[in-house]
């Protein structure tokens, strides 16, 4: 059979991360490749109890069709428990909220709402591969802006905006960016918002890691600085509760949410209602801040351990930025070492990392970097895996 696939499929490739993770089914492989939460971070007993209670007391509500906007009590709980902590992310009377099947769906549908084929969508370089692929599926012109330790290069961003008058959206991950682990400074957040106003583009603020800060000071979200509805804010329960629930949310101007509702109706009708009810009851019955503090302690320990091992075994051969939160460390090799070859040799030695090419907006961008995840592996695997990488680097130097 000669299948005649659509032209848009030519822009899509299988996720490099998912392909690498196939190797990690071997238990002898140390995986620094994924982005999964630590197994000890899951509140499994609490979720088990809540699910049983819901299916015992209100089974029909949990199993019946629901509204596209999302479970009403959960939307209110998110506004009260998550969005109302010291900054105004949700602007009453202006904004609305919709529950998504994971934050990535929020990113995808935001692109669908604002971008036509051929329009320019600006992103950080590097950026999250899942979102990049979803943007590519709509035929947009993806343009990357160099990411520095404190956020995007502002001069380069304005240059890109000038050169691409059809720019519609700027996609940013300001907190503990995936893959780079960097945090955008408050000054740059304000400056990016001003540039978005000047060139009349939307900002898509993706914040799946914001609660996982274990060092430094909190920085206000770009959405909290927005007074005219220019920022679309995406949040998620994947890194703070359980990714398998597939529950995220979007906060944006009411008119924007109305358009996203229509797009979601033709996508999946509504997010899994049982999962929404579980998330809501967890927020209602637990001290969310105490839960977050527990997660921060887990990831601070794991990050510190990986950094200590990098300093001991890899530091002479790489440069990197110590993250203040999140799940990732972005390592850069010297020019004389072939990055892709290094990643391939690492897998052969039973250590999986993700080559930086997976996070480039397109194949024209070069990188010497690779991503390491510290949340998933055990302490012993972190020590063993980093030591193996150090030995490999020494052999290549």
Instruction: Please report whether residue 2 resides in a domain.
Output: no
DSSP string, 317-386: G-EE---SBSSEEEEE--TTS-HHHHHHHHHHTTEE-EEGGGGSSSTT----EEEEE-SSS-HHHHHHHH
Looking at the structure, tell me whether residues 120 and 167 fall in a common domain: yes
Q: Check whether residue 38 and residue 48 sit in a common domain.
A: no
**265 and 247: one domain?**
yes
Residues 154-169 pLDDT 10s = 999 999 999 999 999 9
Write down the pTM of the prediction: 0.94
1 falls within a domain: no
Query: What's the total number of domains in the chain?
Result: 2
Tens digits of per-residue pLDDT, 47-85? Answer: 999 999 999 999 999 999 999 999 999 999 999 988 877
Nearest Cα to 313, choosing from 305, 323, 325? 305
What range defines the domain where residue 300 resides?
Answer: 7-42+290-396
101 and 163 share a domain?
yes
Instruction: Please check whether residue 193 is in contact with residue 385, taking contact to mean a CB–CB distance below 8 angstroms.
Output: no
Judge if 101 and 141 occupy the same domain.
yes
Shared domain check, 354 and 208: no
Nearest to 361 by CA among 150, 191, 170, 144: 144
Task: Copy the structure tokens of residue 80.
Answer: 């009260």
Give the residues of the chain that fall short of pLDDT 50. Answer: none
> Do residue 251 and residue 309 come from a single domain?
no
| Residues 226 and 159 occupy one common structural domain | yes
CATH of the domain at 373: 3.90.1150.10
pLDDT at position 83: 86
Domain end, chosen from 259, 285, 311, is at 285
The whole-angstrom separation of Cα 174 and Cα 189 is: 8
Q: What is the CATH number of the domain that holds 241?
A: 3.40.640.10
- At residue 108, the pLDDT reads 97
Q: Which of 262, 285, 308 is the last residue of a domain?
A: 285
């Amino acid at each position: 059979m000669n299948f005649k696939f659509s032209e848009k499929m030519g822009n899509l490739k299988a996720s490099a991360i998912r392909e690498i993770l196939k190797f990690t089914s071997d238990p002898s492989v140390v995986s620094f490749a994924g982005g999964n939460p630590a197994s000890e971070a899951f509140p499994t007993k609490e979720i088990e109890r809540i699910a049983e209670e819901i299916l015992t007391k209100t089974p029909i509500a949990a199993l019946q069709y629901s509204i596209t906007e999302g479970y009403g009590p959960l939307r209110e709980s998110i506004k009260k428990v998550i969005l109302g902590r010291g900054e105004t992310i949700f602007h009453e009377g202006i904004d609305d909220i919709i529950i998504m099947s994971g934050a990535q769906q929020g990113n995808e549908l935001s692109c669908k709402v604002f971008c036509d084929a051929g329009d320019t969508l600006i992103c950080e370089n590097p950026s999250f591969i899942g979102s990049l692929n979803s943007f590519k599926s709509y035929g947009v012109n993806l343009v990357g802006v160099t990411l520095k330790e404190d956020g995007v290069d502002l001069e380069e961003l304005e240059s890109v905006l000038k050169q691409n008058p059809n720019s519609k959206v700027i996609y940013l991950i300001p907190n503990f960016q995936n893959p780079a682990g960097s945090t955008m400074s408050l000054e740059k957040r304000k400056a990016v918002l001003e540039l978005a106003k000047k060139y009349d583009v939307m900002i898509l603020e993706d914040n799946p890691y914001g609660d996982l800060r274990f060092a430094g000071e909190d920085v206000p979200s770009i959405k909290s600085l927005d007074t005219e509805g220019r920022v679309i804010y995406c949040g998620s329960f994947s890194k703070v509760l359980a990714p398998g629930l597939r529950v995220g949310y979007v906060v944006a101007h009411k008119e924007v949410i109305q358009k996203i509702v229509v797009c979601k109706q033709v996508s999946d009708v509504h997010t899994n209602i049982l999962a929404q009810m579980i998330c809501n009851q967890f927020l209602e019955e637990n001290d969310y801040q105490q839960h977050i503090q527990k997660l921060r302690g887990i990831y601070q320990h794991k990050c510190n351990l990986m950094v200590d091992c990098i300093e001991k075994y890899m530091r002479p051969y790489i440069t990197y930025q110590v993250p203040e939160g999140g799940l990732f460390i972005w390592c850069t090799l010297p020019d004389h070492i072939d990055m892709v070859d290094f990643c391939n040799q690492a897998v052969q030695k039973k250590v999986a990392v993700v080559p930086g090419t997976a996070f480039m907006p397109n194949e024209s961008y070069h990188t010497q970097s690779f991503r390491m995840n510290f949340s998933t592996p055990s302490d012993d695997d972190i020590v063993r895996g980093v030591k193996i990488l150090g030995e490999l680097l020494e052999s290549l130097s």
